[in-house]
Amino acid sequence: MKHGTRTGYAYHRCRCDPCRKAKAESDRQYRARQHLQQPGVLYWPLEPLFQAAGTDTYIELAVRTGIPARTLHRAAVRGLTDPLADRAAIRLGLHPTMIWPNWIDAYLNKEKAA
């Protein structure tokens, strides 16, 4: 077994300092990726959703859309993914194009680029 790797920590259950450091670094990088936009994924700003819901608090928006407040707080940094944005709009009784006017255009541009 090679020491100083995440596999050494997770699979082989090694708890030496190099393996612990490798695991900690891997976890840090994973958390950093979770808060950034991933390439090739469309993200939608949260502000228009607040306006459509007629609220300015995360808790109230969470109740109205059924999306957890913690997820909404994360979306404040990177935006809502397509499935979340679609689900939130539907739960408000709206089509996503009524909240984000360029919803269809973004898909058309994405298909042209591919």
Tokens of 102: 């360029």
Tell me the domains of the chain and their CATH numbers.
1-34 (no CATH), 43-113 (1.10.260)
- The stretch 60-65 carries a mean pLDDT of 96
* pTM check: above 0.85: no
Q: How many residues does the chain have?
A: 114
Task: Categorize the per-residue pLDDT at 114 as very low, low, confident or very high, splitting at 50, 70 and 90.
Answer: low
**CB-based contacts of 15, cutoff 8 Å, min separation 6:** 9
pLDDT at 57 exceeding the cut of 70: yes
